[in-house]
Amino acid sequence: EVQLVESGGGLVQPGGSLRLSCAASGFTFSTYYMNWVRQAPGKGLEWVSYISSGGSTIYYADSVKGRFTISRDNAKSSLYLQMNSLRDDDTAVYYCARARSGSYSDFDYWGQGTLVIVSS
Amino acid sequence: QLTQSPSSLSASVGDRVTITCRASQGLTSYLAWYQQKPGKAPKLLIYAASTLQSGVPSRFSGSGSGTDFTLTISSLQPEDFATYYCQQLNNYPLTFGGGTKVEI
């Protein structure tokens, strides 16, 4: 069974940093492209970042470019999101999501999400 | 940019429901639809504009190409009351529509 489990969320002050993790199981993690998607309270979905299976290709939303860094450790079947210079509007539930097939692909499996609150 | 309409709708069990998603530029068929229930992660319903994801009931269908897409629920069931999102996969940054909340 495919499982994606996020962790690392919490309360952080504006300007602070946080590192999210996503532990994958039930599939060959190293062969899949992965993404982070977030959802602010009561709002819609916002794609955040993408990383190719080997980590060589990375994309970011303009709203996080220069502040967030996506990475992965295929040996540990884990995806990460390093978030620096956090702002109030980064407050959201953050989901990791697997791309079903290729780099321009929908997301067939999602984690349960981890809540990040940026507040003083 | 993706524009979904309506942003919300009220319907009854058994109704036929149609949600539209309009793109500001052509997407060919690089469009997906998701269902999200409160407090839960989104669930993939339709990919490549019209292909039903495995395990999704056949009352869900998708159509369209280019800039205009439609998600149809042929006979609304109690478990279908949720928020639905379209997503374009034609180019980065990937974007989602604003969502359509389907209420009783």
Adjacent-strand bridge partners of A82 = A19, A69
B42–chain A nearest CA distance, Å: 7
Q: Who among A45, A61, A106 is closest to B44 (CB)?
A: A106
Output the tens digit of pLDDT for each of chain A's 120 residues: 999 999 999 999 999 999 999 999 999 999 999 999 999 999 999 999 999 999 999 999 999 999 999 999 999 999 999 999 999 999 999 999 999 988 889 999 999 999 999 999
A94 touches chain B (CB under 8 A): no
Which pair of tokens denotes residue B73? 């629920």
Express each pLDDT in B23-35 by its tens digit.
999 888 899 999 9
Q: Who among B47, B85, B91 is closest to A100 (CB)?
A: B47
- Residues of chain A found within 8 Å of residue B99, distances taken between Cβ atoms: 44-45
DSSP notation for A55-92: S--EEE-TTTTTTEEEEEETTTTEEEEEE-S--GGG-E
Write a three-state SS string for chain B.
CEEEECCEEECCCCCCEEEEEEECCCCCCCEEEEEECCCCCCEEEEECCCEECCCCCCCEEEEEECCEEEEEECCCCHHHCCEEEEEECCCCCCEECCCEEEEC
